[in-house]
């Protein structure tokens, strides 16, 4: 790979049907999301990118396909590995996220899960510092 090539990666792309701007604001308070780009069309976000803990997340208000509104599922979550997960969960709760799995210490580190106001599940972990 040369310096001009983009790395290959998987990027979550979430369609929030008119709530993408709200998600950027809440994720900013909850997870430190930083807006990288936002392209508006008719007062809605056609495409936006945020960075959360160094990783990209794409979101939009629109769907190109005739799909039903966003359907959260417990089968998929966005995962954050951070130095102090307990602190991150506290901040997310203060920003309006609901705790699903309270923060708990395990042999490998700490772990907890939350859902944001849009139904997106977030798992948060911290490694043990041995």
Average pLDDT over residues 77-85: 95
* Each residue's pLDDT tens digit, 92-124: 999 999 999 999 998 889 999 999 999 999 999
pLDDT beyond 80 at 129: no
pTM of the model: 0.85
pLDDT of residue 108: 86
| C-beta of residue 57 within 8 angstroms of C-beta of residue 45 | no
Question: What are the chain's domains?
Answer: 13-63+72-127 (3.10.180.10)
Question: Exposed (0-12), middle (13-18) or buried (19+): which is 44, by Cβ within 10 Å?
Answer: middle
Q: How confident is the model at residue 63 (pLDDT cuts 50, 70, 90)?
A: confident
pLDDT of residue 1: 39
pLDDT of residue 110: 96
pLDDT of residue 38: 97
The angle at the Cα of 95, spanning 94 to 97, to the nearest 5 degrees, equals: 90
């Amino acid at each position: 790979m040369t310096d001009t090539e983009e790395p290959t990666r998987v990027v979550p792309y979430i369609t929030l049907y008119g709530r993408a701007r709200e998600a950027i604001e809440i994720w900013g308070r909850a997870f430190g999301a930083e807006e990288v780009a936002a392209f508006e069309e008719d007062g809605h976000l056609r495409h936006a990118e945020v960075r959360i803990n160094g990783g990209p997340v794409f979101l939009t208000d629109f769907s190109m396909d005739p799909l039903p509104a966003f359907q959260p599922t417990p089968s998929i979550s966005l995962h954050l590995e951070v130095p102090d997960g307990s602190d991150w969960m506290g901040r997310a709760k203060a920003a309006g996220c609901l705790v699903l799995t309270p923060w708990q210490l395990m042999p490998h580190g700490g772990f907890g899960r939350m859902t944001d106001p849009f139904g997106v599940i977030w798992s948060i972990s911290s490694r043990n510092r041995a």
